[in-house]
Amino acid sequence: MKMRLIILAGGIAALFLASCGQQPGTTEEVPELKGTIVVASKSGNDVYFIDRETGETLVVLPTGLEPHEVEVSDDGRIAVVCNYGDRENPGNTLSVYDVQKGKYHKTIDLGEHTRPHGMQWVAGTNNLLVTTEGSRSLIMVDVKEGAVVQVLDTEEEVSHMVAATNDFSRAFVSSIRTGNVAVFDLETGQLIDHVYSGAGAEGIDVSPDGTEVWVTNRADNTITVFDTKTLEVLAQLPCEDFPIRAKFTPDGSRFLVSNARSGTISVFDAVNKLHMADIKLTPPVPADTDAERYFTEFEGTSIPIGLVIPDNQFAYVANTRSDVVSIIDIGKLEITGHFQAGREPDGINFSHLKPEN
């Protein structure tokens, strides 16, 4: 029997069918809610720095045109927003911010590398991996110097998101257009292979131990699990409607997916590759939606997209239609609150630091 749990804000809507006796994971102690949630407001052309503990907006700073994703350096000091641009005007810049000072720092011009989107900071360095759809590339940007230092051709259209192994020996780039994942050896700069994941391959994350990469296929409503070394398909799991972003918990025990069309967060037991629950996001959905926003054809959903998991207890998801971020208790599988985050919040990340001003 398939395990399935549907949860609504405020209570359980159906009983957990625990045919194999497993229960959702819990943590032994609740972490201190310190630090800052950083959210890109796509329609507002700005970025919000929000107190994680109180939900209070600490500072709002301007970005370039239509920012999509947010990345934070491993020391928490620098936040970077990619300026994707609108439908008529492709962007080609990154906006850089000093988190502790709560101030804009500089803009990095990417030149011919337009439509920057997926990002991952290379831990222990000043370098940032960035996908650029317009040039069909995975580029390496030295954030300190403000320069592109390496360009790798993905050979794939709409190279959207990137995830790397924890030793940064390999990087994986998902292509919405082809459903493939481009695999790179970051030590040699070589394209190793293309592996097919599924129609609309988009959300992607590598397990904390570096052994598996999980990819959400938004047009197939599936998740494909690959071995990061052999590229063998280890599993393919069904998911809710339009799975668009995905993240592991830091301990690797859970895998969360935001489903834009169904308005849910799916929770998986990552170790046993089992579906555990679907949490329905229920912030108010406006009757009228700006036609310029993404996915206006999706009805009756808050359109959850961006997802960040600072610790093993709580996850934060950006609802692009409802203009709020939802807080999810992963252990209890329930929504514990919401906070405002600008117009069409999308990209989201976390820093353990807070702006001083």
User: Which residue type occupies 49?
Assistant: F
Name, in order, each residue with C-beta under 8 angstroms of 120's C-beta and a sequence gap of 6 or more.
Answer: 71, 128, 129, 162, 163, 164, 171
Q: Could you list the pLDDT tens digit for every one of the 357 residues in the chain?
A: 333 344 444 433 332 233 333 343 444 455 678 999 999 999 999 999 999 999 999 999 999 999 999 999 999 999 999 999 998 999 999 999 999 999 999 999 999 999 999 999 999 999 999 999 999 999 999 999 999 999 999 999 999 999 999 999 999 999 999 999 999 999 999 999 999 999 999 999 999 999 999 999 999 999 999 999 999 999 999 999 999 999 999 999 999 999 999 999 999 999 999 999 999 998 777 666 666 666 666 678 899 999 999 999 999 999 999 999 999 999 999 999 999 999 999 999 999 999 986
User: Domain extents for the chain?
Assistant: 35-351
Q: Check: CB of residue 321 under 8 Å from CB of residue 297.
A: no
Q: Rounded CA gap, 247 and 164, in Å?
A: 13
Nearest to 175 by CA among 205, 145, 198: 198
Inter-residue long-range contacts of 280-289, CB under 8 Å, 24+ positions, other chains counted? 280/6, 280/7, 280/8, 280/9, 280/13, 281/9, 281/317, 281/319, 281/326, 281/335, 282/8, 282/9, 282/335, 283/319, 283/322, 283/324, 283/326, 283/338, 284/322, 285/321, 285/322, 286/321, 286/322, 289/321
Residue 27 is predicted with a pLDDT of 42
Q: Check: CB of residue 100 under 8 Å from CB of residue 117.
A: no
Residue 108 is predicted with a pLDDT of 99
Name, in order, each residue with C-beta under 8 angstroms of 87's C-beta and a sequence gap of 6 or more.
Answer: none
Q: Rounded CA gap, 329 and 324, in Å?
A: 16
Fold for domain 35-351?
Methylamine Dehydrogenase; Chain H (2.130.10)
List % helix, strand, coil for the chain (3-state, nearest 5). 0, 50, 50
Q: 134: which DSSP letter?
A: G
Q: Rounded CA gap, 340 and 343, in Å?
A: 9
E strand intervals along 143-242: 147-153, 159-164, 170-175, 180-185, 190-196, 201-206, 212-217, 222-227, 233-238
Return the residue matching tokens 């109180």.
54
